[in-house]
Amino acid sequence: MAESMESLLARVETWIRHDVDDGDADELTRLVERATADDGTRFPRSLAELRDRFDGTLEFGTAGLRGAMAAGPNRMNRAVVTRAAAGLGAYLTDTLGPGSGPRVVIGYDARHRSSDFAHDTAAVLAAAGAEVLLLPAPLPTPVLAFAVRRLDADAGVMVTASHNPAADNGYKVYLGGRVVADDGQGAQIVPPHDAGIAERIAAVGPADSVPRAEGGWAVLDRDVVEAYLTSLVPLRTAGADAAAALRVVTTSLHGVGGRVLARALADAGFTHVAPVEEQAAPDPDFPSVAFPNPEETGAIDLALGLAQDWGADVVIANDPDADRCAVAVRDVTLGTHLGVETARSSGWRMLHGDEVGMLLGAEAVAGAVARPGTTVASSVVSSRALGRIAADAGVEHVTTLTGFKWISRTPGLVFGYEEALGYCVDPASVRDKDGISAAVVVAGLAARLKADGRTLVDALDDVARAHGLYVTDQLSARFDDLEQIPATMARLRSAPPATLGGSTVHTVVDLADGYDGLPPTDGMLLLAEDHTRVIVRPSGTEPKVKCYLEVVTPVAVDASALDVGHARVAARERLVALKKELTAALGL
């Protein structure tokens, strides 16, 4: 039964009275006026918007908070952030004991209101008795994750919506220090911490009743950034001459990673680096891209164009908070050279996240062979290739649930990745995905290969010859009606496909029942006789259903580059057909 207009307006008026931001209060007041006007100018959409903004409270979970910025309890705003900070402070106090003075590091990106949310958090936590350390400027998420471990903090907060649209913002929470002392120290929260924090948030009163300090927190200097950059030194694998010979195009997609990446590459000896100038400076409106996510079509077109014009060897792209790393290369097997010469007609393409994971994973496995007790890890939706690479080398591999909050907790971890462009190449420093450190390792590999007259595509061919050709892709559907997400999953559970790409499905697993030792999670796994695999799951951070597709093709150990290239093209054609099948099967 729908809530009455009187009840809704009463809740809205109460929220307005207790809001801590005059602008947000005024925004709601105007929305109420438009929704209730009695002079014939009433806007039904305003009433629907009010109902949506007050349809519960923005949910706090393992991903923290994330949502569109606007006034009301079901949006990202200063009142919601104030109550979240109070709940986090209460959880830390309850966990560590009264008077424990938890140390908390706070970071933020350059999105709209990120600085406001970070300073609100600092004021609330300082008033709650925490030692609060604020990063000195908008900085990448990996710098915050590094600082949590470097400074032995009990918690970390990063205000960012990562690669979400410009209208969104978010709030990630890390735990370490005295709160989490095992392999997850400095990683993002997992159960039961998320539920414990959410419980404390629910117990917080109105936002204007939360105590706030006028000061008392410390703003860190640039030493924390310098320490992070110093931590990258052991990741350099190319000699000075090789590094100087590589031509690299970079883009930060209007985010905060540009300067840090430029410095990291320069320190590693890469002197021929060309940033995409239109996307170099932080801009919260992300004017040159529809979605500031390297995975989205067109997001790195400017970088590819610059690479083509400049004769680059590799393109490296970070998402706006620089925790993801995308890599693009010129793949001669894809060049058409038809019509006007463009980057794509010349064969430039972005490597799939799994392909970068194979390259970095092969590097890590080679280094881990002589180090017993070390482990590599990847998420259940990532390619099975890393597991095969590790097994062939006698190195332990672990499959985890999706998300770095799980990957980074792997005991003995030396490398972890997930296909969504996330790579952890230095877990001793950053227990999270890190697009800056991954870029340094990728550039080093590309430089060494170039010195031998080879490319990253050649290295992928080597992986295929040694372990088989694993080719992956993703199909995703974005939903405006969130009820369609569980409905889509229900359709799949009730009638899973009998074949995948013409091969009989012999295994259907509901991941909600657990799988291969993993805890239950919402998703379905289908495996066909020819080793084709499909995993379908709702996204944890976006209103999407995602399908992860993988086909496997044997490759002869002496196959030529042309043979491997043809096999890769044929595998991609199988994936295109598989996408069409799944689109129909899921009713997308």
Answer yes or no: 162 catalytic.
yes
Q: Which residues pair with 400 in a beta bridge?
A: 379
| Assigned token pair, 401 | 């649930």
The conformational region for residue 235 under phi > 0 = left, psi -120 to 50 = alpha, else beta, is alpha
Residues in the chain: 588
Alpha carbons 85 and 68: distance in angstroms, whole number? 18
Alpha-carbon 311 to chain mean position? 30
Helix (H) or strand (E) holding 303: helix 301-310
In the set 114, 162, 346, 429, the catalytic residue is 162
The conformational region for residue 246 under phi > 0 = left, psi -120 to 50 = alpha, else beta, is beta
| Assigned token pair, 430 | 């950053």
Alpha helices in 382-533 (DSSP H): 385-393, 404-407, 435-451, 456-467, 484-494
User: How many helices (H) and strands (E) are present in the chain, helices listed first?
Assistant: 18, 22
| Assigned token pair, 362 | 């092969």
Residue given tokens 């919506």 in the structure block: 161
| Assigned token pair, 188 | 């993002």
With contact defined as beta carbons under 8 Å apart, do 469 and 552 qualify? yes
| Assigned token pair, 397 | 């591999």
Nearest residue to 32 via CA among 5, 61, 56, 58: 5
Which contacts of 425-428 are long-range, i.e. CB under 8 A and separated by 24 or more positions?
A: 425/235, 425/360, 425/364, 426/231, 426/232, 426/234, 426/235
Alpha carbons 72 and 70: distance in angstroms, whole number? 7
| Assigned token pair, 329 | 């290369």
Alpha carbons 77 and 54: distance in angstroms, whole number? 13
Residue 272 burial class via C-beta count within 10 angstroms: exposed 0-12, middle 13-18, buried 19 and up: middle
Alpha carbons 119 and 213: distance in angstroms, whole number? 10
Nearest residue to 479 via CA among 392, 405, 538: 538
- What is the set of active-site residues? 162
